[in-house]
Every structure is written in structure tokens, then in C-alpha cells.
Amino acid sequence: MDFQEIRELIELFSKSDLDRLKIKREGFEFKLVRGRAGSVEVTSGASPAPQAAIQVAAAPEPVEDESLHYVTSPIVGTYYSAPNPKADAFVRVGSRVSSGQTLCIIEAMKLMNEIQCDVAGEVVSCLVENAQPVEFGQKLFAIKTS
């Protein structure tokens, strides 16, 4: 198993919903375990040195741009882009938004919480898929302020 294969496995694992993955191949043991906050712990049995843990981001984040403002989730719950399944999304990439405008809903314990924008600008990226679980502090939208 070469470095590129290991790298691809880590990337695929980071994007999956799996909690752990263990591969044994040709005297080589490779184990991935998802830790807290979506991090991934990587250990390998082929190394003669003590096993080390490498932290890998669960999902690639956009490059930090100082002109961007990130709207984050204030609670743990499920993200919804529209008020109901048949309705249009509150906002889309390219939408102009104003302070106080509803961007999405996060459902927590059967309560629907409207998440409002705290700046005016243009939505340049939606960082979450509809009906996806979100964590406290997770980035939901990137907004280019005006």
C-alpha cells in the first residue's frame, strides 16, 4: 500500500459516515477511527516507530478569505435549506442577503430554529447539504460582505 492509496483512503473515509475502518493487507494493518468533532485518527501497523495519530479535517474547508463572513450553527441539529420539502430554499449561492434575513432552519429536538444572517452581502458558498446533521459552531454559509 503506497502513500497515494493511504491518502485516498483517508479522504474517502473523511467524506463518509463510517466511524471506523480497518484494512489488513500483505502484513500491513491500517486503521482509521473517527474521533470527536469529525476528526480522523490514522494509525498504521507497518511502522517500526510507535504508532502516531494524525488529525485530518473531516471535510475540506474553503480557503479563509478576510472579505468573507461565515454564518455558523448556534446549535447541534439537522440543517434544512427550506421551510418545507416542497418550498424553495431560503437562499442560494449568488443570493443577496440582508442582516436579519432567514438563511436556513436547524431542527433540534423537534423544534425548528430559523438561522438569520447577521451581515448584509452575497452568499458565495453553502457549506452544508440539505437534511445533513450539523454541530455547534459549524460553518453553514460563506457571505461576501458588501
Domains of the chain: 3-56 (no CATH), 68-145 (2.40.50.100)
Q: In Å, how far are 38, 68, 88 from 85, measured between CA atoms?
A: 27, 29, 8
Max Cα separation, the chain? Answer: 58
The single-letter code of the amino acid at 121 is G
Mean pLDDT of the chain: 81
pLDDT at 43: 55
Query: What does the alpha-carbon distance between residue 45 and residue 47 come to, in Å, rounded to a whole number?
Result: 6
Count the Cβ atoms, other than its own, within 10 Å of residue 18.
13
Its pTM stands at: 0.55
For the stretch 43-102, pLDDT in tens is 555 544 444 555 555 555 545 667 799 999 999 999 999 999 999 999 999 999 999 999
The single-letter code of the amino acid at 77 is G
Please report the sign of the dihedral spanned by the C-alpha atoms of residue 61, residue 62, residue 67, residue 70. Answer: negative
